[in-house]
Amino acid sequence: MAKIGQIERKKNKLVNVIPLNTPYTVMISPTDFCNLNCIFCEYHSPDAKFFKEQNNMSFSLFKMIIDQLLEFPDKVKLLTLDDYGEPTLNKELPKMIAYAKEKDVAERIMLVTNGTLLNPQLNKAIVEAGLDEIKISVEAIDERKFQKITSFKINMDRFISNIRDLYENKNNLYVFIKTVDIALEGKVDEQRFYSIFNPISDSMDIEHIIPHSTHPEEIQLQTMGIPTFSDTTISGKKAKDKSICPHLMYYLAITPSGDVYPCSNGKRSRYFLGNVEKEELTKIWKSPYLRKLRIANIIGERKNVGKCLECQFLRYTIDDDLEEDREEMLKKFL
């Protein structure tokens, strides 16, 4: 019986552990390419002009990144393989997982995928590589709605069969399956989603669709059923404006070309920190520029700098409210 809801994990109180010598989370994007065209994904939104270049990450570059992560004094808590592209489009993916696992670079390695390219051969490869967790986004539960949302024609029976094959042969892999509320039409669809995927997952959830940003062009998304404002977070809790983003304190995101940003919304933020082929990650993590961004974030100037002004991740996807810790956090960086 699958658990219902987001995966809850014990977290350290951020003010007690910063400044971190090692990032807690590192996101590596194996590819910029995606085989779907989801109406609710900002990759395909009118505001997505920041996705000008599309690349596949080479294994040699991935290997370099993992080797650099080993230079940090502690193990990364989470290495996640995702971003705006579909990771399974990179044929080197199982090899990448296996190398990261062999080097014991992270406590957990997670893959985020739309699941459309899963098949018994790929399933076997990623399980044998040692993947710890997979998060599968189900864009709809019937073929008509799936094509309407993604512009992709899918064989739903085969799609479900491939996920079942993965689950039945998963060994220690944790399988999390999610969808979004606009993909379902009422309680009947909700129950159908649960009945289909409950037997073939460890946990599952229906996420609330959230606004991408405050950019004026986002208004165009209203015609596609995407809100530009919501009172609800992605997990269904009451949304709240917050001024301190925790991502800047514990996160690094790396693109397929090796560019490094301080958050998963990096390409939009334009906060380019460096490139792993020119500067090592340990130096980037301790750089004066990143320290400056963290201080601006703590003192409440985050929204006055660059594209953080438009970012809605803090309101809709992050529960942590660090306001009461502002003064203590600032002391840690001064």
pLDDT tens profile 59-84: 999 999 999 999 999 999 999 999 87
Name the range with the highest mean pLDDT among 35-39, 42-46, 236-240.
Answer: 35-39
pLDDT of 218 above 50: no
Query: What's residue 134's pLDDT?
Result: 98
Interatomic CA distance for residues 270 and 276, integer angstroms: 17
Query: What's residue 217's pLDDT?
Result: 45
268-291 pLDDT per residue, tens: 556 889 999 999 999 999 999 999
> Which among 236, 237, 238, 212 is positioned nearest to 226, based on CA atoms?
212
**CB-based contact 9:71 (threshold 8 Å):** no
Better-scored residue on pLDDT, 263 or 294 = 294
Number of residues in the chain? 334
Mean pLDDT of 8-26: 88
Mean pLDDT of 19-39: 90
Q: How confident is the model at residue 53 (pLDDT cuts 50, 70, 90)?
A: low
Q: What type of residue is 268? A: R
| Burial letters 256-277, b for 16+ CB under 10 A, else e | bbbbbbbbbbbbbbebebbebe
Q: How far is CA 279 from the centre of its chain?
A: 24
Mean pLDDT of 144-155: 89
The mean-pLDDT minimum among 40-44, 75-79, 222-226, 244-248 falls in 222-226
Query: What's residue 305's pLDDT?
Result: 57
Arithmetic mean of pLDDT over the chain: 85
Q: How confident is the model at residue 216 (pLDDT cuts 50, 70, 90)?
A: very low
Q: How confident is the model at residue 264 (pLDDT cuts 50, 70, 90)?
A: confident
**CB-based contact 248:291 (threshold 8 Å):** no
Tokens of 312: 């809605």
Mean pLDDT of 109-121: 97
Better-scored residue on pLDDT, 326 or 22 = 22
φ, ψ of residue 176 to 5 degrees: the values are -115, 130
Name the range with the highest mean pLDDT among 84-98, 173-187, 315-329.
Answer: 84-98
Query: What's residue 304's pLDDT?
Result: 61
Tokens of 218: 């986002």
